[in-house]
Each structure stands twice: as structure tokens, then as C-alpha cells.
Amino acid sequence: MKIEIWSDVMCPFCYIGKNNFEEALNKLPFKDEVQVEWKSFQLDPSLDPKQTQNTIEYFREKKGFPEAQATQMISQVAQMGKGAGIDFNFEKALITNTFSAHKLLHLAKKYNKSNEMEEALFIAHFIDGKNVGDPEVLVSLAESLDLDKEEARQAVTTDQWNNEVNQDILEARNNGVSGVPFFVLNGKYAVSGAQPVEAFEEALQQTYKETVSPFKDISGSSGASCDADGCSI
């Protein structure tokens, strides 16, 4: 069974969704039959890859949120993160263009390490406060997963993987995906947002058993997610 997950490194709900999904999957007897493929999605492709902002600045200046509202929202997301075993460090997180990070993800996919790379990128951005738009940071992450340093540098500094990233983004757009995380279960069902563990478990079990129309959303409700206009709970 194949699971495709559209995600962006800057999306906290994508990290929460990843942890909840993985916890659900690990409970199921058919977990070893599941192949996970991470897909690229950019929440804000207009960002300058050579510049960074902190989270509060970004929501205030780019999204127009009052600082008090942005602070409250970040606090709520941090609490959600704790429930998924994540200690978000929003004070250190650097908002920047993530296109190069997605190129690195595609390189990792070539070596069957995309899941490990997705986790490494989330940790770098949300926990360690690293600039995931910086080629040197990305090369360092590649090395930590035993990927070739020079191949990684080539991946993040040239257009070698641009088509793959753009193809993922186009595929999402063509399928009406406007927010992430977005999970497509074996090409038959869709689950949107950072759903609870129980919802993922039920969806995975149902997908394993049934054949239905493609991309029918069986999540039942809109989970917390991010789109181009911001994040919602």
C-alpha cells in the first residue's frame, strides 16, 4: 500500500501529522506493506531564499496578523506539538524559502532516505533553528544521513531536481490540494490535516480493506493545516 504525503518543511502541522501518522501505522499488522512517499509543497514560494525572518515577524509582516494573535496561535500549536511528542522551538525557527530543501528531499528519495530526510529537515527548522534555505546547512543534513557531500551540494545549488519539485507542486494543484499536510492513501482515499492518531489508524485500516473512488476525503473534519494564507487550527 502506497501513502503519498504532501508537506512543507515550514508547516508545523506537517510535523505533527507525520508523528501521528507514524504512531498509527506502527500499531497496524500490515505496517511493513506500506510504502511512504513524501511530496513537495511550498506554502510561500515568494520568500527570498537568501533572507530569513523569525516566526512572529513573518506572521506580522507577511500575513498581517497582530503580534498578540500570532503569539497566541504559536502557543496553541506548541501545545499541539507536545501532544505529538514534539517540543517546537518557534523562538529559533527561521522562515525562508524551502525550495532547495525540497530538492534535497528528492535526492534523499533516490537513496530511499526521504523519510529520514523529512524528519531531519523538520528538526533542523523547528527544533535547532537552522536555516533550511542555506545550502551549507542542507549539505550538512545530507552528510548526517550518509549521503554524498558533493552530490548533495550539486542537488541544492543547481536546477537538477527542480522538475521533480515542480511536478509535485503541480500534481497537488491539479488534485485540488491547497493545504498541507495532505495524505493520499493508496490512490483511493485522502486525509487532510494533522489528524489524531486514531483517525489515521482508522483511515489506514479502511484503505487496506476497501476500494473506493480516488481522493475521497475520509478524515471527517478539517484537521489543523497550513495553506498560502497561513495556518489554522
pLDDT digits (tens, 9 = 90+) for 34-76: 999 999 999 999 999 999 999 999 998 888 889 999 999 999 9
- For residue 218, the model assigns a pLDDT of 60
d(CA 58, CA 65): 9
The CB-side HSE value for 108 (13 A sphere, CA atoms) comes to: 28
- Kindly compute the dihedral angle of the four CA atoms of residues 173, 194, 49, 61, in this order, to the nearest 10 degrees: 100
Task: Tell me the pLDDT tens digit for each residue of 138-175.
Answer: 999 999 999 999 999 999 999 999 999 999 999 999 99
- pLDDT above 90 (res 222): no
The CB-side HSE value for 167 (13 A sphere, CA atoms) comes to: 7
- pLDDT above 70 (res 216): no
Which grid coordinates belong to 6? 504532501
d(CA 203, CA 174): 23
- pLDDT above 60 (res 133): yes
Residue carrying the nine cell digits 491539479:
174
Residue 217: which H helix or E strand, with range?
strand 216-217
- pLDDT above 50 (res 212): no
AA letter at 94: L
- For residue 225, the model assigns a pLDDT of 80
* Residue 210 pLDDT level (bands cut at 50, 70, 90): confident
- For residue 132, the model assigns a pLDDT of 98
- pLDDT above 90 (res 233): no
Average pLDDT over residues 14-32: 97
d(CA 113, CA 52): 27
Average pLDDT over residues 121-132: 98
Minimum mean pLDDT range among 135-139, 202-206, 222-226: 222-226
pTM of the entire predicted model? 0.90
* Residue 213 pLDDT level (bands cut at 50, 70, 90): very low
- pLDDT above 60 (res 214): no
Compute the residue count for the chain: 233
Mean pLDDT of the chain: 93
The 3-state secondary structure of 148-204, one letter per residue = CHHHHHHHHHCCCCHHHHHHHHHHHHHCCCCEECEEEECCCEEEECCCCHHHHHHHH
- pLDDT above 70 (res 221): no
- Residue % of the chain over a pLDDT of 70: 94
